[in-house]
Chains A and B, each alone.
Chain A
Amino acid sequence: MDQPNRSNPPEVIIGNNQITFVLNQDIYPRDIVLKTCYVYIDRMYFQLDIPRAKIITVTVKGKERLAPKELEKFKDDFLDELLNALLRKRISRQNQKLVEYIVGGAVTAALEKADARMGDTIKEDAVDPNRIEREIEALKKELEEEMDAA
């Protein structure tokens, strides 16, 4: 009977102030690995490689010299952050349609409101077509009165 394919856990080699993670790209895609490196790039030195198909290696060195315990903690944190990034990607993919609907709805509503406002202004002008003429007459009258007074 065939055994189901089991993926090995990520291989981690801890050395002198240095850790190497050997990751399977089927589980940890390249963008996820890059995102995770970005989180720690101000504290650690990184070099990445793809030595063979589907395998990505991340070599990490502490900017400050790290004790074995600190390296061990970093290893756990890095692996957690990888999962965190994976989960965030999955959630954002799942919610993508929902976000598009909400943003689309908000934009449509804002445009409709703006159209309605423009319509009201045009309507106001349309209610009294003689308003401009009356205003001109009133201005003329005012000017004549001023001239008479002078």
Chain B
Amino acid sequence: MNLVNKIHFNKKLYSLKSVETTAEIYQEFARFKIVNGKKYIDIEVDITDNEESSEQIIDEFKNYALLLNINHAGN
């Protein structure tokens, strides 16, 4: 069963580049559709897995994207 989840990243905090890089890394676990909106980067995550592990993949995805932005901000 495929589970589709949505993530919204505020563009003031997450760069499109960092989200794309994260999606590239996590593409072996899920399919990502990235929409670059005006205020938010919207991501549709399509995971062929059970609910529990899909939640973990999404959480890991969010953390990785944040980490890239922290590093880019020179922290």
- Using a CB–CB distance below 8 Å, which chain A residues touch chain B? 30-31, 34-35, 37-38, 41, 45-50, 56, 61, 63
Nearest chain B CB to A150's CB is how many angstroms away?
A: 73
25 pairs, A vs B, C-beta closer than 8 Å: A30-B12, A30-B13, A31-B73, A34-B70, A34-B73, A35-B70, A35-B75, A38-B67, A41-B63, A45-B62, A46-B62, A46-B63, A46-B66, A47-B62, A47-B66, A48-B10, A48-B13, A48-B66, A49-B8, A49-B10, A49-B13, A50-B10, A56-B13, A61-B59, A63-B59
Residues in B with CB closer than 8 Å to A30 are: 12-13
A61 to B8, CA, bound (A): 16
A61 to B12, CA, bound (A): 22
Are B13 and A50 interface neighbours, CB within 8 A?
yes
Instruction: List 14 additional contacts besides A30-B12, A31-B73, A46-B63; criterion CB under 8 Å.
Output: A31-B75, A34-B69, A34-B73, A35-B70, A37-B70, A41-B70, A45-B60, A46-B62, A47-B62, A47-B66, A48-B10, A48-B13, A48-B66, A49-B8
Other-chain contact of A38, B60, B62, B70 (Cβ < 8 Å):
B70
- Using a CB–CB distance below 8 Å, which chain B residues touch chain A? 8, 10, 12-14, 59-60, 62-63, 66-67, 69-70, 73, 75
